[in-house]
Structure 1
């Protein structure tokens, strides 16, 4: 539960009071990073509903994430990053989402984008982007549907020239880096590259009056003749892509992060209703307990899959197609259970709190965020069934050998 009793909320101008965040150690210290995420979430929880109604870009929230170190949680420790595992990143997304779904959604995509060089890049790019992203505390934004590559690319010799539109982008109103993804006509392999958000070729459309996730998703971003050197094409050498099995781990990793957004939203709804029930002389019944049990079950499964993922990320240079199929099925199942739990819990808390107006006003934000996210993320349960039938859905993932 997020305790905002002593949290300092936003100032009159929408910013948060500056505070000193002590540095966190690197290495196996995930619990301390989870506690840091909870501290940041307690600040975000104060006034979250009002900020959601305003629809203003979350500049102050992003600055808070940077100051708390959450933006660089996955970054290499040698350059000042947290050096944490993906399971810790997923936990941070869940905690932040319980306070503010838009910010948790933004953070989930940031983690996937900031790790993109690891997924598809060459060793040179992995080292370079890992260093500069940590040192500059960059926040990454881009299309919500990764590797669909909706932009068209022209080969101008030394440069690639991107044109088109990023539909349904995440974080592009507040990010430092925009991930561009497109294709050269006639070529199948998508090309991804980083661009500074200040690039004059970007044009933000008029803001959408969104149903949910109002502050992380924009209407669209127009891309007009944005030139990026070919040396910036991730995973390419001499304009040719260098494939490896780990490339495809991008999708399930992002899906698992989004599963944790769902779980955070469900947790936030239970926290709000619990506060109401405590104030009502601790009134509760079996219906509320069933909702708690539902969430605990979905959280436990997501954590189990995240731990399996940590093993695979640790040996990303040697993962196989079989590893990918097995992990993808497990992630899909976790996403399916998380989305179902979030939809059910955010709907049914209205009943267990007897339709209290204050609870309904607060939970309605979380309910809308769940529905908006559900419209973007559709887990393919049939894939889980297929993997079970053909035997690829396994949990016997081998631990990496010690050096």
Structure 2
């Protein structure tokens, strides 16, 4: 579907579902191969979905997070890697609004729509040795980020780095230094600028096409106006700016759910077409086996309940977003806790569904050629991003003690 058709229909979720069906045809092959999903990223560019969240005044489609997150979910049903890449793009592309000046917001939004930019990132706060130092009126970046999702296929990388005065401190000290971790300057860096080296070293069991390998920065020039906001400020971000973490967590929630729904749908089709009833079953087909029917019922109860909660949580995040700079710290904290409930739920349900689906498909479904295990591997890999036990603690501390979590890159 081309851009003109997209403008006519405005049916973004249906478009995402259509693209998902297309991506599903090559998902098994691409999971085995790994690497960068170049053709699929080009299809996302052609679709217009990269501009979904950007306001109409800057050439985008001005859609809500509710729509964008459902689009991520649809893409993830077919391919968790592509769901992650698109979701990260959405968060990264709004960083100028969260952290930048009005002029930076207008500039980067307009250039994104004009050039159809895809945004990646190199923001992992647990890599504190990437350092930003002053160079006249501009800056230089030196060091490495070990994880940089979406880097290879991107046009722009959002980068966070420790300030130069942290350069000579031991890593352990820098890691614990809140200012170095939570008040990091945010730079907007063209992916192919001189000195940026994309290292093809992402080789994990899941999310194998997320372009998440390391990126090295060798004396990379950063212009002063490429640092969002005031480059000299060490103030804590505003409540609105700190929505970056709930935004990422919302993306996680939706592509975990999408992966689980994708596994359920593929399992269902396999059960109907290939699964044989057990030798003691009273049924002649697997679809009529009472135990298989019961298991599908249990799985769907979990999924439909999760869909309902996630849809509610998406609306909570949208409400917080719409408050803009009027968002209070308490409102921000309550939003983060609400999203954490969905993070816990989708982590548990997705891991459960992607594992149990084998029980209703049978032994032959475990053949390598099907790669049905990719759903579990994808969820298992990314849910280690930040331990879900700490999300449970955040929720519990709020429920019991009315303690909202402090802003960090993970909370």
TM score, norm. by length of structure 2: 0.85
Give SS of 2:164's match.
coil
Q: Work out which of the two has the higher radius of gyration on C-alpha atoms and give 1 or 2.
A: 2
Residue 90 of structure 2 is aligned with which of 111, 115, 131? 111
SS at match of 1:162: strand
Q: Distance in 2 between matches of 1:329 and 1:148?
A: 26
Task: Please say if residues 263 and 299 of structure 1, whose CA atoms lie closer than 8 Å, have aligned partners that are also in contact.
Answer: yes
Q: Measured at CA, do residues 147 and 248 of structure 1 come closer, stay the same or move farther in structure 2, by a change above 3 Å?
A: farther
Unaligned runs of 5+ in 2: 167-178, 275-284, 405-411
SS state at 1:317 partner: helix
Q: Is the 8 Å Cα contact of residues 272 and 362 (structure 1) preserved in structure 2?
A: no
SS at match of 1:285: helix
Q: Secondary structure at the match of 2:192?
A: coil
Determine if contact 1:72/1:134 at 8 Å carries over to the other structure. Answer: yes
Aligned-pair CA distance for 1:392: 6.3
Distance 1:135 1:241, change over 3 A: farther
- After TM superposition, the structure 1 = structure 2 runs for residues 308-327 of structure 1, keeping only pairs within 5 Å, are 308-327=316-335
> 1:366 aligned to 366, 375, 378, which one?
375
Cα deviation code 1:78-135 (max 9, x no counterpart): 2331211111111111110110111111111111100111211111111111111111
CA contact (8 A) 2:358 2:366 kept: no
CA distance in 2, matches of 1:352, 1:142: 39
TM-aligned CA distance change 1:191 to 1:148, over 3 Å: farther
The 2-side partners of 1:344 and 1:170 are apart by 26
1:348-398 Cα offsets, whole Å, 9 max, x none, are 0001112333687332111111111012132321110111123468xxxxx
How far, CA to CA, are the matches of 2:129 and 2:269 in structure 1?
Answer: 45
Q: Report the Cα offset of residue 178 of structure 1.
A: 1.1
> 1:111–1:20: structure 2 CA closer, same or farther, 3 Å change rule?
closer
Q: 1:254 aligns with which of 225, 240, 248?
A: 248
Q: In structure 2, what is the equivalent of residue 219 of structure 1?
A: 213
The structure 2 residue matched to 1:286, chosen from 276, 282, 294, is 294
2:99 aligned with 1:120, yes or no?
yes
Q: In the TM superposition, what are the counterparts of 1:238-249 in structure 2 within 5 Å?
A: 243-249=237-243
Other-structure match for 1:88: 67
Q: Which residue of 2 aligns with 1:338?
A: 346
Cα–Cα, structure 1 residues 109 and 144, in superposed 2: closer, same or farther, change >3 Å? farther
Which of 128, 134, 142 is residue 121 of structure 2 equivalent to?
A: 142
- Give the structure with the larger helix fraction: 2
Equivalent position of 2:152 in the other structure: 173
Q: Quote the residue 2:400 is aligned against.
A: 389
How far off is 1:310 after superposition? 1.1
Distance 1:216 1:317 in 2: 32
Q: Distance in 1 between matches of 2:217 and 2:95?
A: 20
Runs (5+) with no aligned partner, structure 1: 1-18, 394-403
Alignment-derived partner of residue 7 in structure 1 = none
Aligned residues: 372
Cα distance 1:113–1:148, how it changes in 2: closer, same or farther (>3 A)? farther
**Superposed displacement of residue 277, structure 1:** 2.1
Question: Root-mean-square deviation (CA), in Å?
Answer: 2.2
